[in-house]
Chain A
Amino acid sequence: MENLKLEATKYTPGITLTTEGIISLVGKSYPENTFEFYAPMIKWVEEYFENNPAQTTIVNMEIIYFNSSSSKLFFDFFDLLEENSGEHNIEINWIYDEENESAEEAGEDFIEDFENLNIKLVVK
């Protein structure tokens, strides 16, 4: 399995996925077609968990702002992580600027919605 790296654009985050267990999303997220844009990432993550993942998987989410379809996509992504959290050790960092209250609130909502996931709020 190969690593996957997508450069950030004005409306999509930089994405880094490594077989050493790092999943990182940094930037803004409002693609024209969100589900299509994130499909390769979701596919990679699914395959990663099926094929001998790292002992601990670290997920770093640092999204400055995002549209509602990205919000739905992130929800589905966390759902996928939760499905794998029984067998695998997954640590999620929801990273935001201390002045970015919307991002903080979004992180708090995900924590409440995914009680089985280990999501930490990390102020930059």
Chain B
Amino acid sequence: MNINVIQKLVDTDGIVFLSYGGYLSQTLISGMTEALELEAKDHGITMSVSNNIFTIFIELAQNMMNYSKAIDSEAMKAQGLIVVSKDSEYNYYIHSQNIVSLTDKEKIEPKLLEIQSLDKVGIKKRYRELRKSGQHTHGKGGGIGFYEIAKKCDSIEYNFTKIEEDRYYFHVKTKITTTKGEK
């Protein structure tokens, strides 16, 4: 294991207090969410901000869980990396990364491009439009997960890195700002 990779993350993004890579199950996600709840309580983060952190974490983790389940191919199974960190200014970061196919990249990217073109008010409006229309609804949910995340964070960045034909690393980075001592 190259621990320097984690070190680099600590140096750039501050304290990493939750990091997991591997198979994602509902029980595990729920356990990690509980750990986040304790962390939030310990640091006196407001209920509003902490609920946003939990929702984003759950959304990203369940996304990866559902995605890997929907894929039959051995190569795509259950690979998920999720990292929660904070910096010295008490900003929280939640990263997720998994491997997706080209078809999925083409499904995900337009949503994220749209999100990045909108301000907060626009995102909230679009979220409600999509929830109402059921336009993106699929077997597992409303297809509005990224809009939910965007609603609840201060910034969302993403990138696709090609590994080989039809395989991309899909990395999402969200930032949630908080003020220490904020009520």
Contacts and interface: CB of A to CB of B under 8 A. Distances in A.
A binds B: yes
B128 A68 contact: no
Contact of A68 (B29, B33, B132, B147): B147
B52 A71 contact: no
B152 to A, nearest CB: 7
B142 A66 contact: no
Contact size range, A: 20 to 34
A113 B132 CA distance: 8
B52 A102 contact: yes
Contacts of A71: 131, 142, 144, 148
Contacts of B147: 68
Interface stretch (B7-15, B54-62, B87-95, B158-166): B54-62
Given A67-B58, A75-B131, A102 B144 contact: no
B51 A68 contact: no
Interface in B55-111: 55, 58-59, 62, 65
A33 interface: yes
B131 A72 contact: yes
A109 B148 CA distance: 13
A2 interface: no
Interface residues of B, number: 31
A30 interface: yes
B179 to A, nearest CB: 15
B142 A11 contact: no
Question: Interface centre among A35, A68, A101, by most B CB within 10 Å?
Answer: A68
Interface core residue of A30, A34, A113 (most chain B CB under 10 Å)? A30
A3 interface: no
Given A99-B46, A113-B132, A65 B142 contact: no
A43 interface: no
Contacts of A103: 51
Given A32-B26, A32-B65, A33-B140, A68 B59 contact: yes
Interface of B: 26, 29-30, 33-34, 46-48, 51-52, 54-55, 58-59, 62, 65, 124, 128, 131-132, 134, 137, 139-142, 144-145, 147-148, 152
24 contacts: A32-B26, A33-B140, A34-B141, A35-B141, A64-B51, A65-B54, A66-B55, A67-B58, A67-B145, A68-B141, A68-B144, A69-B141, A69-B142, A71-B131, A72-B134, A72-B137, A99-B47, A101-B47, A101-B48, A102-B55, A103-B51, A109-B124, A113-B128, A113-B132
